[in-house]
């Protein structure tokens, strides 16, 4: 089932068109890898999907409703989880604190998520979900864990409010190939086992090949190949 639909969207910076009349439907339960040359608009497309930027024309619909007609704050804090290449974790906070803060900002209540005794139990469940041991790293500060572990925690943070869509901008760009494949396996689990829609921007052909669907964004794109 389609969860995000691009409806004839175009986007241009001043005197610099990037995307033109783009249509595409993203479905739940699949991992999408968006590739393309520099300047093709990959990161711009991710910003449009996240609601950070608005298309010049056309619209993007989430579960059938145009996101520009909805509360963008609610959309970004509840429906879409964004994962950045640089992780953007808070170094003064512990692993658990980074994840819980994201959950608290969303405004969701623990009872909306599931049957957990407290927030710590829920946070520890998320840490395990991305393949880490909360007893080992839960109380460590971010700079005291490896880059691969930081990326996994960034994923757990994005999952904290249980979004339907995960958007990741070059999530393996700073990692070696083996660790990158491990991270992609986490995304695959989220899509195939938990029915999330995962959309990844990547320059890595190896990572793109492991996704369910590879979409090549061409300069001034009218469509994704």
pLDDT band at residue 221 using 50, 70 and 90 as cut-offs: low
Residue 50 domain flag: yes
- Residue 34 near residue 22, CB atoms below 8 Å: no
Helix/strand/coil percent split, the chain, to 5: 40, 25, 35
CA distances from 61 to 4, 26, 120, 159, 221 (A): 6, 10, 34, 21, 19
> How many domains are there within the chain?
1
Q: Which domain holds residue 120?
A: 2-216
Q: Which of 42, 69, 50 is nearest to 4 (CA)?
A: 50
Q: Establish if 224 belongs to a structural domain.
A: no
202 lies in some domain: yes
* Residue 59 forms part of a structural domain: yes
Give the total residue count for the chain: 225
Q: Which tokens go with 59?
A: 């619209």
Q: Is residue 129 part of a domain?
A: yes
Token output for 193: 């086992």
Quick: pLDDT tens for 9-66.
Answer: 999 888 888 888 899 999 999 999 999 888 788 889 999 999 999 999 999 999 999 9
Global pTM value? 0.89
Residue-wise pLDDT tens digits, 117-132? 999 999 999 999 999 9
Which residue blocks in the chain are alpha helix, DSSP H? 42-50, 72-74, 95-106, 110-113, 119-129, 134-137, 147-159, 177-192, 205-210
Indicate whether 221 belongs to any domain.
no
Is 113 part of any domain?
yes
Assigned domain for 45 exists: yes
103-158 pLDDT per residue, tens: 999 888 998 888 899 999 999 999 999 999 999 999 999 999 998 999 999 999 99
Q: How far apart are CA 194 and CA 192, in angstroms?
A: 6
Return the CATH number at 11. Answer: 3.40.50.300
Contact 95, 153 (CB under 8 A): yes
């Amino acid at each position: 089932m389609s969860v995000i639909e691009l409806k004839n969207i175009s986007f241009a910076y001043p005197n610099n068109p990037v995307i033109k009349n783009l249509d595409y439907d993203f479905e739940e339960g699949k991992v999408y890898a968006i590739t393309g040359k520099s300047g093709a608009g990959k990161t711009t497309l991710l910003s449009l999907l996240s609601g950070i930027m608005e298309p010049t024309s056309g619209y993007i619909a989430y579960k059938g409703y145009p996101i520009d007609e909805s509360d963008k704050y609610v959309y970004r804090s509840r429906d879409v989880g964004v994962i950045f290449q640089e992780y953007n974790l808070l170094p003064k906070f512990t692993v658990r604190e980074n994840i819980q803060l994201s959950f608290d900002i969303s405004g969701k209540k623990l009872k909306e998520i599931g049957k957990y005794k407290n927030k710590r139990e829920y946070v520890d469940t998320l840490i395990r979900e991305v393949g880490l041991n909360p007893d080992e790293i839960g109380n460590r500060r971010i700079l005291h864990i490896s880059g691969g572990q930081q990326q996994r925690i960034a994923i757990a943070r994005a999952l904290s409010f249980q979004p339907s869509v995960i958007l990741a901008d070059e999530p393996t760009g700073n990692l070696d190939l083996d660790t990158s494949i491990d991270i992609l396996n986490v995304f695959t689990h989220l899509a195939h086992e938990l029915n999330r829609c995962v959309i990844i921007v990547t320059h890595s052909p190896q990572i793109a090949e492991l996704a369910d669907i590879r979409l090549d964004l061409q300069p001034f794109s009218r469509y994704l190949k």
